[in-house]
């Protein structure tokens, strides 16, 4: 791969220089005045160099060191020369702007912005630079002759003159479906690994299964197939996918796993780790510790090229992936190499077998070679490719073939692909942004016929067709998402990424964590990607010593502090920053060459006015800058601007004047029409701009002559989506005759005040919101159709009465023949769906007789809040004709109070099984999801009241949700099921839902029957949720049920649970409360014939019980003492117990059985005292025998609880709320009782007691505890031995707590030992003597919150260095906050101090407040003045996250703003009041 470094696309770099030297701008504005001779010489010299580059690259590939050095020097000179001519171009643009009056608008700022704009000074400075470049060029030409470099004639496209073949325009990058071939070719491998994974179900230890094979074999594709396999998805409750980079970092991987988890808590199954690199053993061991506490059967599936990695991971079930069979390799090559629409040449087909051998079973190599051969049409060309491609071996892998594929690219395409090395591996690349970055760096050569964007799209398509890009996905976003959401993303295969990295060398730098090497940024770096914490600090430190000519800087994380060395950014062409500040961090006078500026999702309020001097800027992305209030007024001088993204900026009230001057503008996503004036643009200024893509016009009520101007916008031929928005509904006829051009596909309209609209029949999507006066979609003399319409959304159309109004009645016609998605909500006058014409056999050869359908292609129908809706057809009398939705897959009906039934269903003609049904009806033969909610009148499943023995069936329905339908009494009467759901089938059973998997029923007041006939079956049902159905007393037959949830159910339901125990994995049982007078009344859930039926362990992993006394009463278990029924729940991981009256003592006999339990929650058990009925005294070594894997423990609202059980050492989180009698968190420990009864201890004894407790080996409990939350535990006198592992500590309303202590070795000793005060019951003189206290906090603590514990903290509180969040409210003894001496504190992110009456001193180290984004200091009268370093941060913190007493804000003001003091005081008081109200509401919740 070494030769690739020197064959990096130098030709486009020189060609780019040649084009800049020949630019017409240089002559038009005389910027080369006095340098004409050097200019002419350079024009002659550059073509000479271009002629010999190919020969130089060939010699370099043959390891001719002289040629390598010559090319490297040429690249260096070309970069410098390009920078010089960028300065010439900028000078030309500056003079053009000056000529057009920009200087007058800038005023005196011109002197600061252009200190060297004097032409004589410019000529002198640039003349010397040009002479140096010319000297270097002459030296290169002389050396060229010395090395004997020959002139090589190239095709015009290689010279960059015709960059893109016309054929590429028809190229689609989706030629074959790789997943389809992979699913066939790797079926056996997939089944083998799935079997291994499922076989680990009973394994308590973490299982690791690596897939090992050389690069390009399809390991990741195989892992994806396994990941998406239905059996795997059903078996593992939670699945995560994480890609591991080559720079293996344990913390980063662990963070990625947490972020990938939708739950983001303890409950995580193990993820596939894609492309695990070879790394040190200790790193894997550290990660394994993080993953160790998985549930039973948890598994890590990894992919790696290195067998040693599998050994390092300790895997005993490594899966070695074999090469792909030749027939599949041949299929891939032929699919890539030949046009499927043309006949394959016989001579070339015969050569395929030879090519197959060279791929050695690698699908990626086959794809790459096939893509190369697609551009070759003769036998001789195929022979050349075959001879140049090395056969893949174990040593070389497929890199030689990938290298061949890369070398086959035209020069400018090599450059475009190599640039992608700037992105991390597995990064989702936004294709539109990628093309813009190519353009910004000058990688795309200009062409007269096409725009740069079109050429860029063609280049991307060509690269994608050659498999340089993969996982190409198009996103359109949610239908109700009002933001600019169309985008295409892609990824790069990791081996292709290796190719790009080897080409770019140190020119591309990627840092996804803080660089550890001091020399990570070299002087040759050109393109930087940073995605790590405190990016600004890394840049500031690096640029202090180095000055690389950076062209691209992408910062993918928030910046909250300022940048330094601003002049060193003067070579930037592309910049992406996400600013967490209100102002722009860089100075435009150092960004003259900037072409691309992305500030999306920043918090800036405005851009500086002098940003208008960025005359080269082509892309400005300000999308989703929520606080942005205005754009630069002089924006009209930024004449190079091509794309302006301003969507997602709700505070933007107008557009700057003169936008009509931006004649190159192609994209403008958001235009706000203000009241016409000199300081804003009118919509008319868009008239001559060739805008494309998406555009939203806001505040149209301000537009004069709006009808003509909007019509002009609608006729822009490249516009694909148009949004028209009024601020409120007002009289308007703007759209009465609106007829947009045929290319416009999506139209969204908000608050239009007209009664009708123009002809929109060419639309693909129509969205209408809050058009309250609109009565019909259209009015016409004759009927017409919407032949292209696929999506129709009607929301809040209060006057909408019907679908259309036609003057003359004509023959029936399908108005919406291809409509796929229909959303209707808040249309109060709409009575029915449109009139349905007769259906002409759309869903079967036989078709239907007398069946009507208005929507023959509809797949999704959602109706919500339709007050008058009651019919499924506009015609009341259908004369026995039924309504059919033949393709409907999802139906949602909410808040339609007059709807009584589903439509009258036609006979179903064998659409769902070999056996079929007899006398069965269905209006929804393809329906998969049905949701019905808040239907006050709904009571029938068919419009016909009498079906005369005919049954309704939903043959394909998988999800059914019914909520708040008070008149519904039963599900539809089920037909006999004839073998539709298994090989053996079912005999004499009934089911209206043969495919149903999920059923949810909630708030059904009258529901009492599952069917009118006994024996109703749900053969495929997996999840059943029954909530608040008061008349339901039984549960249905469901042999595959895995999740059952019952809310407010009758106690009788308890007796039906046992039928599901063999299949359930999750049980939530919340029964109605009935007072239990004795434990003997409790009955067991375990079946009576347990010995016969229970010969296996229950798969149950989650159990949540409320008012289920039968689980714990002695009567429930007395018959099975020897059987130990809880032993059957060995896989249980999550247990919640609520409102259990018979639970008095800790059920230690239950705890002994729950060996897999990870989470235990007990709440609202009023009789629970705590200690065992027959108290046990286990040794310290036996303390962890019960619940050995418990990680989370929560106890809430147990009013009688006095003592905890012996908690295991595995605990990571403890929360205890409202247990007012609790005296001990950890069972009576040596010395604790004496310490707690501190009223008898002297001042001198107490520190000694703490020391003894801390050093006692029996008290090193919970070494992994990271989270401790105590709330309203008034009897706790002390919190002792906080483990060093603790990261979060919260204590609130625990008035008796006096001391915090950490285990020995956890925290360095304070400089001076001070005494600790006693509890409030001390004698008064002794209590008064304890004026200073020292609390020992854990060294790794990141969050500390103490609220309304008035007597706890006293004197100085020394904070540990990692602390990021500090919240102290309601304290009367604390005097100062300090960091431990000798430790460098990290940056606080949240600081909240309130009602701390004696607190006077805060830390004064600058780094403490550097990352602060949430600040509250109120009611602390002893703090007279904020530290200076904190005052400096006040302007950066957003107003809504800053609550300060008014005097602190006044201190931070400069004298010139003192007139603003009254306003500041009012605002601050209001903010403080709102914050307190928010806190009170949060506490109440």
Judged by average pLDDT, the poorest of 274-278, 835-839, 1038-1042, 1080-1084 is 1080-1084
pLDDT of residue 1251: 37
State how far the Cα of 851 lies from the Cα of 832, in Å rounded to an integer. Answer: 17
pLDDT tens-digit readout, 669-686: 999 988 877 888 888 888
Phi/psi zone of residue 330: left (φ > 0), alpha (ψ -120 to 50 degrees), beta?
Answer: alpha
pLDDT of residue 575: 94
- Count CA within 13 A, CB hemisphere, residue 1274: 7
* In contact, 763 and 746? CB cutoff 8 Å: yes
Ranges assigned E (strand) in 949-1042: 951-952, 959-963, 998-1002, 1023-1027
For tokens 């190719």, the residue is 499
What is the H or E stretch that residue 61 is in? helix 36-61
Handedness of CA 1317, 1319, 1322, 1327 (dihedral sign): positive
Judged by average pLDDT, the poorest of 144-158, 711-725, 920-934, 1030-1044 is 144-158
pLDDT of residue 754: 83
pLDDT of residue 596: 96
Among 486, 507, 493, 467, which Cα is nearest to 374's? 467
Average pLDDT over residues 552-563: 85
Phi/psi zone of residue 1107: left (φ > 0), alpha (ψ -120 to 50 degrees), beta?
Answer: left
More confident call, 280 vs 1043: 1043
Mean pLDDT of the chain: 77
On the question of pLDDT at 262 being above 80, the answer is no
Q: Which of 563-577, 983-997, 1292-1306 has the highest mean pLDDT?
A: 563-577
pLDDT over 70 percentage in the chain: 75
> Cα–Cα–Cα angle for 7, 13, 14, nearest 5°?
100
In this structure, the number of other CB atoms found within 10 A of the CB of residue 1125 comes to 21
Burial of 23 (0-12, 13-18, 19+ CB in 10 A): middle
For 982-1038, give the DSSP string.
SSS--SS-B-S-TT--EEEEE--SS--BS-SSTTBB-TT--EEEEES-TT-----B-
Handedness of CA 342, 348, 350, 355 (dihedral sign): negative
pLDDT of residue 1433: 79
Q: Do you know the residue count of the chain?
A: 1485
Terminal alpha carbon distance of the chain: 62
Burial of 1435 (0-12, 13-18, 19+ CB in 10 A): exposed
Q: What is the DSSP letter of 421?
A: G
pLDDT of residue 822: 94
For 1432, 1444, 1450, the CA distances from 1454, given in Å and listed in that order, are 12, 17, 8
Average pLDDT over residues 1397-1406: 87
pLDDT band (50, 70, 90) for residue 767: very high
> Cα–Cα–Cα angle for 1135, 1140, 1145, nearest 5°?
85
On the question of pLDDT at 1014 being above 70, the answer is no
> What does residue 435 show for φ and ψ, rounded to 5 degrees?
-65, -40
pLDDT of residue 116: 55
* In contact, 711 and 665? CB cutoff 8 Å: no
Average pLDDT over residues 629-640: 92
Point out which residues pair with 508 in neighbouring strands: 527
pLDDT tens-digit readout, 1204-1236: 888 888 899 999 999 999 887 765 443 443 333
Q: What is the DSSP letter of 491?
A: E
On the question of pLDDT at 526 being above 50, the answer is yes
What is the H or E stretch that residue 436 is in? helix 431-440
On the question of pLDDT at 3 being above 60, the answer is no
Among 799, 787, 731, which Cα is nearest to 759's? 787
More confident call, 4 vs 666: 666
pLDDT band (50, 70, 90) for residue 1164: very high
Per DSSP, helices labelled H in 678-818 are: 706-714
Average pLDDT over residues 538-559: 86
64 Cβ contact partners less than 8 Å away, ≥ 6 residues apart: 147
Point out which residues pair with 862 in neighbouring strands: 823, 892
Burial of 1182 (0-12, 13-18, 19+ CB in 10 A): exposed
State how far the Cα of 364 lies from the Cα of 252, in Å rounded to an integer. Answer: 29
Query: 487-491 and 429-430 as β-strands: parallel, antiparallel, unpaired?
Result: antiparallel
State how far the Cα of 1260 lies from the Cα of 738, in Å rounded to an integer. Answer: 77
Point out which residues pair with 300 in neighbouring strands: 208
pLDDT tens-digit readout, 156-205: 444 443 344 434 333 444 445 556 777 788 888 888 888 888 777 666 67
pLDDT of residue 246: 59
Among 491, 535, 585, 462, which Cα is nearest to 175's? 462
For tokens 């209030």, the residue is 629
Could you tell me the maximum CA-CA distance found in the chain, to the nearest angstrom?
A: 109
Judged by average pLDDT, the poorest of 312-316, 464-468, 795-799 is 312-316
3-class state of residue 3 by DSSP: helix
* In contact, 372 and 466? CB cutoff 8 Å: yes
More confident call, 1385 vs 1465: 1385
Structure tokens belonging to residue 330? 């041949």
pLDDT tens-digit readout, 1335-1357: 678 888 999 999 988 777 778 88
State how far the Cα of 899 lies from the Cα of 1054, in Å rounded to an integer. Answer: 35
Q: What is the DSSP letter of 1456?
A: G
Structure tokens belonging to residue 1456? 């010139």
For 1079-1144, give the DSSP string.
GGG---SS-TTHHHH--S-----EEEEES-GGGTSHHHHGGGTTT-GGGGGTT--EEEEES-TT--
What is the H or E stretch that residue 498 is in? helix 494-504
On the question of pLDDT at 1237 being above 50, the answer is no
3-class state of residue 606 by DSSP: strand
For tokens 């050349």, the residue is 384
Query: 1267-1271 and 1288-1292 as β-strands: parallel, antiparallel, unpaired?
Result: parallel
For tokens 């992608």, the residue is 420
For 641-677, give the DSSP string.
--EEE-TT-TT-----S-GGG-TT--EE-EEE-PSS-
For 535, 953, 1014, the CA distances from 991, given in Å and listed in that order, are 61, 8, 11
State how far the Cα of 1209 lies from the Cα of 1257, in Å rounded to an integer. Answer: 13
> Cα–Cα–Cα angle for 385, 386, 389, nearest 5°?
80
Structure tokens belonging to residue 427? 């990064």
What is the H or E stretch that residue 406 is in? helix 399-407
Structure tokens belonging to residue 760? 């929109």
What interhelical angle do 178-185 and 219-227 show, nearest 10? 80
For 22, 28, 630, the CA distances from 124, given in Å and listed in that order, are 21, 20, 40
State how far the Cα of 1368 lies from the Cα of 1393, in Å rounded to an integer. Answer: 5
pLDDT of residue 666: 93
């Amino acid at each position: 791969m070494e030769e690739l470094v020197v064959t990096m696309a130098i030709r486009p770099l020189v060609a780019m220089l040649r084009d800049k030297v020949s630019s017409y701008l240089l002559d038009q504005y005389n910027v080369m005045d006095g340098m004409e001779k050097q200019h002419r010489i350079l024009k002659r010299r550059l073509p000479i160099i271009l002629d010999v580059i190919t020969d130089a690259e060939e010699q370099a590939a043959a390891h001719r060191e002289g040629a390598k050095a010559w090319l490297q020097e040429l690249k260096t000179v070309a970069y410098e020369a390009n920078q010089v001519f960028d300065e010439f171009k900028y000078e030309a643009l500056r003079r053009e702007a000056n000529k057009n009056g920009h200087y007058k608008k800038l005023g005196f700022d011109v002197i600061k912005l252009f200190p060297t704009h004097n032409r004589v000074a410019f000529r002198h400075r640039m003349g010397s630079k040009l002479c140096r470049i010319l000297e270097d060029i002459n030296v290169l030409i002389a050396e060229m002759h010395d090395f004997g470099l020959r002139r090589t004639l190239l095709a015009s496209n290689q010279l960059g003159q015709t960059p893109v073949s016309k054929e590429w325009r028809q190229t689609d990058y989706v030629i074959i479906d790789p997943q389809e071939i992979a699913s066939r070719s790797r079926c056996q491998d997939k089944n083998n690994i799935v079997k291994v994974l499922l076989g680990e179900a009973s394994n308590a230890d973490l299982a690791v299964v690596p897939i090992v094979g050389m690069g390009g074999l399809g390991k990741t594709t195989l892992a994806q197939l396994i990941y998406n396999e239905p059996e795997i998805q059903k078996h593992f409750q939670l699945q995560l996918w994480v890609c591991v980079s080559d720079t293996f970092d344990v913390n980063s991987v662990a963070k990625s796993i947490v972020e990938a988890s939708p739950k983001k808590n303890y409950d995580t199954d193990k993820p596939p780790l894609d492309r695990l690199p070879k790394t040190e053993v200790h790193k894997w061991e550290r990660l394994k510790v993080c993953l160790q506490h998985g549930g039973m059967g948890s598994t890590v599936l990894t992919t790696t090229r290195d067998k040693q990695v599998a050994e390092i991971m300790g895997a005993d079930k490594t899966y070695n992936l074999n090469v792909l069979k030749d027939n599949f390799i041949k299929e891939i090559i032929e699919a890539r190499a030949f046009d499927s629409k043309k006949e394959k040449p016989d001579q070339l087909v015969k050569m395929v077998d030879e090519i197959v051998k060279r791929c050695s079973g690698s699908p990626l190599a086959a794809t790459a070679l096939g893509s190369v051969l697609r551009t070759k049409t003769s036998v001789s060309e195929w022979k050349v490719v075959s001879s140049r491609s090395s056969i893949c071996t174990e040593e070389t892998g497929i890199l030689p073939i990938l290298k061949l594929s890369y070398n086959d690219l035209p020069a400018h395409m090599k450059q475009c692909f190599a640039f992608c090395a700037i992105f991390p591996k597995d990064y989702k690349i936004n294709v539109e942004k990628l093309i813009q970055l190519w353009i910004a760096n000058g990688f795309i050569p200009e062409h007269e016929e096409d725009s740069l964007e079109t050429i860029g799209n063609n280049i991307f398509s060509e690269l994608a067709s050659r498999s340089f890009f993969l996982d190409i996905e198009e996103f359109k976003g949610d239908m109700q998402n009002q933001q600019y959401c169309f985008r295409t993303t892609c990824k790069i295969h990791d081996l292709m990424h290796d190719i790009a990295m080897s080409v770019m060398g140190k020119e591309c730098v990627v840092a996804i964590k803080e660089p550890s090497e001091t020399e990570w940024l070299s002087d040759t770096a050109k393109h930087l990607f940073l995605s790590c914490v405190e990016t600004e600090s890394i840049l500031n430190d690096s640029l202090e010593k180095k000055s690389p000519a950076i062209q691209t800087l992408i910062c993918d994380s928030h910046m909250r502090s300022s940048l330094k060395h601003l002049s060193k950014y003067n070579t930037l062409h592309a910049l992406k920053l996400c600013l967490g500040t209100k102002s722009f961090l860089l100075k435009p006078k150092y960004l003259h060459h900037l072409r691309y500026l992305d500030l999306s999702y920043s918090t800036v309020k405005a851009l500086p006015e002098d940003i208008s001097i960025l005359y080269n800027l082509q892309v400005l992305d300000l999308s989703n800058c929520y606080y942005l209030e205005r754009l630069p007024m002089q924006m009209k001088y930024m004449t190079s601007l091509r794309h302006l993204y301003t969507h997602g900026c709700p505070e933007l009230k107008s557009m700057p004047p003169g936008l009509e001057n931006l004649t190159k503008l192609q994209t403008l996503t958001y235009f706000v029409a203000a009241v016409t004036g000199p300081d804003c643009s009118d919509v008319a200024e868009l008239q001559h701009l060739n805008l494309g893509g998406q555009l939203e016009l806001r505040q149209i009520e301000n537009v004069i002559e709006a009808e003509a101007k909007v019509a002009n916008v609608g006729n822009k031929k490249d516009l694909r989506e148009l949004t028209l928005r009024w601020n409120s509904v007002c009289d308007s006829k703007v759209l009465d005759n609106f007829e947009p051009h045929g290319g416009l596909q999506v139209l969204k309209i908000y608050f239009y005040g007209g009664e009708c609209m123009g002809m929109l029949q060419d639309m693909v999507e129509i969205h209408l919101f809050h058009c309250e006066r609109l009565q019909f979609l259209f009015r016409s003399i004759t009927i017409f159709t919407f032949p292209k319409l696929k999506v129709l959304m009607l929301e809040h159309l209060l006057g909408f009465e019907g679908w259309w109004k036609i003057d003359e009645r004509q023959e029936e016609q399908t108005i919406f023949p291809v409509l796929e998605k229909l959303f209707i909500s808040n249309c109060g006058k709409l009575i029915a769906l449109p009139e349905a014409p007769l259906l002409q056999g759309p869903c079967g050869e036989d078709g239907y007789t007398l069946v009507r359908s208005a929507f023959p292609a509809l797949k999704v129908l959602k109706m919500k809040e339709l007050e008058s809706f009651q019919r499924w057809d506009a015609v009341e009398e259908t004369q026995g004709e039924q309504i059919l939705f033949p393709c409907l897959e999802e139906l949602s009906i909410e808040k339609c109070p007059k709807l009584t039934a589903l439509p009258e269903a036609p006979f179903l003609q064998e659409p769902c099984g070999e056996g079929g049904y007899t006398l069965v009806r269905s209006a929804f033969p393809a329906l998969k999801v049905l949701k019905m909610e808040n239907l006050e009148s709904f009571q029938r499943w068919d419009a016909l009241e009498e079906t005369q023995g005919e049954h309704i069936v939903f043959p394909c329905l998988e999800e059914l949700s019914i909520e708040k339908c008070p008149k519904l009494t039963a599900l539809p009467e089920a037909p006999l099921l004839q073998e539709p759901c298994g090989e053996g089938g079912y005999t004499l059973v009934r089911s209206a839902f043969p495919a149903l998997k999920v059923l949810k029923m909630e708030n059904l007041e009258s529901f009492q029957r599952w069917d009118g006939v006994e024996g109703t079956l749900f053969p495929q049902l997996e999840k059943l949720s029954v909530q608040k159905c008061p008349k339901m007393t039984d549960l249905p037959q469901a042999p595959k049920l895995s999740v059952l949830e019952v809310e407010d159910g009758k106690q009788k339901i308890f007796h039906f649970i046992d039928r599901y125990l063999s299949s359930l994995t999750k049980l939530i049982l919340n029964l109605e409360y009935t007072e239990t007078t004795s434990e003997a009344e409790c009955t067991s859930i375990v079946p009576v014939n347990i010995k016969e039926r229970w010969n296996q362990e229950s798969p149950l992993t989650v159990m949540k019980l409320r008012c289920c006394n039968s689980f714990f009463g002695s009567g429930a278990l007395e018959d099975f003492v020897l059987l130990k029924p809880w032993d059957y729940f060995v896989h249980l991981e999550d247990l919640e117990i609520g409102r259990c009256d018979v639970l008095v003592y800790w059920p230690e006999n239950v705890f002994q059985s729950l060996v897999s339990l990870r989470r235990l929650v007990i709440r609202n058990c009023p009789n629970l005292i705590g200690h065992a009925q027959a108290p046990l005294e286990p040794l310290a070594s036996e303390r962890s025998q019960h619940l050995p894997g418990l990680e989370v423990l929560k106890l809430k609202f147990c009013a009688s609880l006095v003592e905890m059980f012996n908690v295991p050492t595995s605990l990571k989180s403890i929360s205890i709320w409202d247990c007012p009698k609790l005296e001990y968190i950890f069972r009576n420990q040596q010395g604790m009782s004496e310490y707690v009864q501190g009223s008898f201890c002297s001042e001198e004894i107490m520190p000694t007691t703490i020391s003894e407790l801390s050093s006692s080996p029996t008290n090193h409990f919970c070494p992994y505890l990271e989270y401790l939350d105590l709330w309203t535990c008034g009897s706790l006198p002390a919190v002792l031995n906080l483990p060093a592992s603790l990261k979060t500590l919260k204590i609130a309303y625990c008035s008796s707590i006096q001391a915090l202590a950490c285990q020995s070795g956890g925290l360095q000793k304070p400089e001076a030992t001070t005494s600790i005060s006693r509890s409030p019951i001390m004698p008064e003189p002794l209590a008064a003597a304890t004026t200073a206290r020292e609390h020992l906090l854990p060294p790794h603590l990141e969050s500390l919150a103490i609220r309304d514990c008035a007597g706890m903290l006293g004197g100085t509180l020394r904070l540990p260095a990692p602390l990021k969040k500090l919240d102290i409210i309601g304290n009367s003894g604390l005097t100062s906050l300090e960091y431990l001496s000798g430790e460098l504190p990290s940056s606080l992110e949240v600081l909240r101090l309130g009602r701390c009456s004696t607190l006077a001193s805060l830390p004064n180290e600058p780094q403490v407040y550097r990352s602060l984004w949430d600040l509250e200091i109120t009611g602390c009268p002893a703090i007279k003045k904020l530290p200076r370093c904190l005052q400096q941060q006040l302007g950066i913190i957003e107003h809504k996250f800053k609550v300060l007493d008014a005097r602190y804000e006044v201190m931070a003001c400069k004298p010139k703003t003192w007139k603003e003091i009254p306003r500041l005081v009012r605002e601050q008081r209001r903010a403080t009041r709102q914050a307190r109200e928010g806190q009170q509401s949060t506490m109440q919740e």
